[in-house]
Amino acid sequence: MEACAFGNEPLFDVLNIDLSEDAIHLVTGGAMASVGFFARDVRVVRAVVSGLGVVYLLRHPGHL
């Protein structure tokens, strides 16, 4: 097995763990949840969801 940086080694040789990607998903998921539950203006919800959609597309361009 090759030497890997911390946070990129496979978990039980099954799951790949990437700490920075996990942190991004937690932050953006929290933003979507807070806007979904607490925002009263549809324009704010639309702006946040579309902005985070663009971030996800730029982060994972192979998923287009």
Q: Can you give the pLDDT of all 64 residues of the chain as single tens digits?
A: 455 555 556 656 666 667 777 788 888 889 889 998 998 899 999 999 999 888 888 876 665 5
Kindly state whether residue 14 falls inside one of the protein's structural domains. no
Q: Is residue 41 part of a domain?
A: yes
Q: Is residue 57 part of a domain?
A: yes
Position 46 scores a pLDDT of 92
Both ends of the chain: CA-CA distance in Å? 32
Residue 61 lies in a domain: yes
pTM of the model: 0.58
Task: Tell whether 34 is covered by a domain.
Answer: yes
Domain that holds residue 63: 28-64
Has residue 35 been placed in a domain?
Answer: yes
Burial of 61 (0-12, 13-18, 19+ CB in 10 A): exposed
Domains in the chain: how many in total? 1
Any domain includes 21: no
